[in-house]
A = this chain, B = another copy of it.
C-alpha cells in the first residue's frame, strides 16, 4: 500500500532536517535498502549504500540550514523545492533544488533525483 501523504511529508521534512543538521547515519536511515540517488540528474546514479554514505558524508561537516519551500505529493511520490544554506563565516552559499522521490510502503525513500545546476547556487553575504 502506498504511504500516506502525511507519512511522505514526515519523511521529506526529516530528510531536509537531517541533510542540513543531522549525521550521515540519520540521512541513511530514511532510505530503504537498495535505494538510488541521482544528484544532480544527469550524473551517475548511486546504487550502493556505500556510495550514498560517501555522498552524504561530504556535507555532514558543513554548517547548514534547510528549508522546505514547496511539497507536492502524487501517487505515493513527492516533488519538492527546498533551500539549503551553507554557512561559510561571512558568506552563505544558498542553493535551491527540486528533489523528486519515490517511497516504499513504510515511506522510506527508494529513489531520489535532484534537479539543479550551478546557476541555482549563489553566494550572499551572511546577514
Q: Which residues of A contact B (CB under 8 A)?
A: 2, 5, 40-43, 70, 72-81, 96-98, 100, 114-117, 119-120
Contact = CB atoms under 8 A, between A and B. Distances in A.
Nearest to A116: B72
A10 to B, nearest CB: 16
SS class of chain A's interface: helix, strand, loop or mixed?
Answer: strand
A40 to B, nearest CB: 4
Contacts of A77: 41-42, 115
B72 A5 contact: no
Copies of this chain:
2
Contacts of A41: 74-75, 77
B42 A79 contact: no
Given A79-B98, A79-B100, A81-B81, A74 B5 contact: no
Contact of A5 (B5, B78, B117): B117
